[in-house]
Amino acid sequence: MLTIKLIQEQTDLVAERLRIKNFEATSILNEILQLDDLRRSIQSRMDNQLAELNSLSKQIGQFYREGKTSEAEAAKEKTAEFKEQGRILKEQLTQTENQIQELLVQLPNLPHELVPAGKTADDNLLIRSGGIIPTADPERKAHWDLLQSSKLIDFELGNKLTGAGFPVYKKEAARLQRALINFFLDQGIKAGYTEVQPPILVNQDSAYGTGQLPDKEGQMYHAEADGLYLIPTAEVPVTNIFRDEILEAADLPLRYIAYTPCFRREAGSWGSHVRGLNRLHQFDKVEIVQVRHPQNSYQGLDEMVNYVESLVSLLNLPYRIIRLCGGDMSFTSAMTYDFEVWAAGQGRWLEVSSVSNFESFQANRLKLRFKEKGDKRTTLAHTLNGSALALPRIVAAILENNQKGNEIMIPEILHPYTGFDRISL
């Protein structure tokens, strides 16, 4: 959520930046500014009424203590008017605040100035790439064909248990996945991240804090009886650790890492290109989160990009790093880098990580602030997060890129984790 202060001070800049995200904000911005003026004047008047009421109340107390009962009774008569006015103004204030809030949550985050303009993925900017794309080979299979007979990843069984998009991993596939999770966590800890295991169901406040609500309500599974949501990413519980917190500047940056299952309804986003592991309703992911001083949050973003790059490199996966254009970026992000790895069996790039700086956009909703020691003023912190990494597509890429005849070679770095160096089909 953008701050009203920013909208007031830089109205034109805000409108201009939001156009990069193909969002025409002018009328909303003006409406907000108008409502905010109204809000202040209401607040002023209300405060005055309440101040009168408070001072009368004090007087009444004084009268009673002095035994001046009739004066006290007389003063009581006078309170009714202030009370009523105060009540009416309070109602107006709440209503106005709600209206402002409704408009504010419609505004996406401002893109950073380096974000390219554009509407679709075609306008994204290739930053760099690495690894070697295996030579095309007609023998090479997509992972769903590759596993067809072995059923190491059993989609039909998952369908029986739950439904489409909930596969069952078996034997080496299950162990490979577990190995990757441990590998990712260990790497993260080595890089200075603190491991946490958060709940995977969150309440409304948390879903709101990171922006899943109200923007993407339909994308989360909702346990209605308890008012809880299954998390679509560990970003939600981990970032919400800091909701309503005032941190010490000296404690920043904070780096957290968490493995969780993730749940996404993916309503309306299924098609022929999302077969197999490419898109699931439940998948595993290791997520990294940073909380930073605004001065160095982009340093943090670079650090996270380099870190994720190290992971795909260690796994010997051909990758490319892309800076998303305004139109392809998420609502909450100021700058996002996507990581894609080459899946040789399908002959296409798969997105395996998305690393973003949200600047103060999430922090504003979360009320996540920090304070310099000895300073009175609080400042919104910057939050960042990234996948490090999302499991299924990494598994898909490993399977597809490393197939040799009837075998799949496991990247060497994982051998200590898997306990085997190949999967025989």
Partner RNA sequence: GGAGAGAUGGCCGAGUGGUCGAAGGCGCACGCCUGGAAAGCGUGUAUCCCAUGUGAAAUGGGAUCGAGGGUUCGAAUCCCUCUUUCUCCGCCA
Which residues lie near RNA (CB under 7 A)? 40, 43-44, 46-48, 50-51, 53-58, 60-61, 64-65, 76, 79-80, 83, 246, 369, 371, 374, 376-378
Instruction: Return the number of the residue (170 or 371) whose C-beta is nearest RNA.
Output: 371
Nearest distance, CB of residue 243 and RNA, angstroms: 13
Helices marked H in 241-291: none
Cα 358 to Cα 21, 76, 98, 384: the distances in Å are: 14, 53, 24, 6
CB 263 within 8 A of CB 230: yes
Pick 140 or 369: Cβ nearer RNA: 369
Give 153-210 as a DSSP string: EEHHHHHHHT-TT--EE-HHHHHHHHHHHHHHHHHHHHTTPEE----SEE-HHHHHHT
Residue owning tokens 């075609």 = 122
What's at 78, amino acid-wise?
A: K
As a whole number of angstroms, the distance between CA 332 and CA 112 comes to 12
- Distance of closest approach, residue 68 Cβ to RNA, in angstroms: 12
Q: Report d(CA 153, CA 406) in Å as an integer.
A: 16
Letter for the amino acid at 81? E
Rounded to a whole number of angstroms, the minimum distance from the CB of residue 73 to RNA is 9
- Least separation in angstroms between residue 94's CB and RNA is 8
Q: Among residues 222 and 371, whose Cβ is nearest to RNA?
A: 371
The sign one gets for the Cα dihedral 293, 294, 300, 305 is: positive
The C-alpha angle 95, 98, 99, rounded to 5 degrees, equals: 90
Task: Kindly state the smallest distance separating residue 63's Cβ from RNA, in Å.
Answer: 8
Please say which residue, 67 or 405, places its beta carbon nearer to RNA: 67
| Smaller CB separation from RNA, 356 or 364 | 364
Instruction: State both tokens at 4.
Output: 């009203």
Bridge partner residues of 210 (DSSP): none
For residue 56, the minimal CB distance to RNA (Å) is 6
Q: Which is nearer to RNA, 240 or 403 (CB)?
A: 240
User: In whole angstroms, how close is the CB of 89 to RNA at the nearest point?
Assistant: 10
Taking the complex as a whole, how short is the minimal distance between the CB of residue 209 and RNA, in angstroms? Answer: 16
Nearer to RNA, 68 or 275 (CB): 68
Within 8 A by CB and 6+ apart from 16, the residues are none
> Between residues 51 and 121, which has the closer beta carbon with respect to RNA?
51
From residue 265, give the alpha-carbon distance in Å to each of 164, 166, 209: 11, 11, 20
Give the number of C-alpha atoms closer than 13 A to the C-alpha of residue 5, restricted to the C-beta side. 5
